[in-house]
Amino acid sequence: MFRPRVIPVLLLKNGGLVKSVGFKDHRYVGDPINAVRIFNELKADELSFLDIGATREDRLISLDFVRDVGEEAQMPFSVGGGIRTLEDIRTVIAAGAEKVVIGSEAARDPTFVSRAAEAFGSSTIVVCIDVKRSLFKGQRVWSVNATRPSNVTPLEFAQMSAENGAGEIIIQSITRDGTMEGYDCDLIRSVADAVEVPVIALGGAGSRKDLISAYKEGHANALGAGSIFVYKDRKRGVLINYPAKDELRFL
């Protein structure tokens, strides 16, 4: 029986594991490699690491870090942060990552996704779409850690990314990031129903009920989250955690 993957999406800043709210107010929550060890014990389906400062600092996510994760992780993992060239992808994959997450470069040059998929296969390429609603334009795609707006809608961008060969699409609400108040299921469903590649929900999960909603109401193929996997509860005491397999049967 099909069960959607449940994926801790972990943010990196200055080598540490952080958590944000609305892509701001970054709080240090621990050592990322220690988190990998815990997720190994908890048998997480998959992990994703995003270096949130890499693009703005004009650098690539640390290859030493990717190698360290590759040596520790007992599950597939993807990484993103500063990926701009085919050589960047090549070195990240060589360092041990199964997939790369492309965000800002896909927004700047959508043809990069096509070239990357052709060179490395669609299964290697994940496009992350960060979305925020403006007062007059509605929902639009933002990039460079939510500092650069575009005039493209998330639906348009998702369809273009899928056509260009993206193997998966992450759809993330900037506004709901870190709030633990639930996913934007309308946004997720609008994308999931319009493309034929897997869609990963991200942004706002705070409970098991939210995971259920993203899957059943949002039609997501996989469920990404940060806060619920690094905090004990809504009081935000730090505790790396992951649901037991029997707790995932509801999906």
Q: Give the chain's end-to-end CA distance (angstroms, integer).
A: 10
179 φ/ψ angles, rounded to the nearest 5 degrees: -80, -25
Instruction: Give dist(CA 142, CA 153) in Å, integer.
Output: 10
Q: Between β-strands 16-21 and 5-13, what pairing exists: parallel, antiparallel or unpaired?
A: antiparallel
Distance between CA atoms of 87 and 77, rounded to whole angstroms?
19
210 annotated active-site: no
Count other Cβ atoms within 10 Å, centred on residue 119: 13
Angle at 118 between CA 91 and CA 139, to 5 degrees: 90
Q: Which of 130, 177, 184, 210 is catalytic?
A: 130
By annotation, the residues acting in catalysis are 130
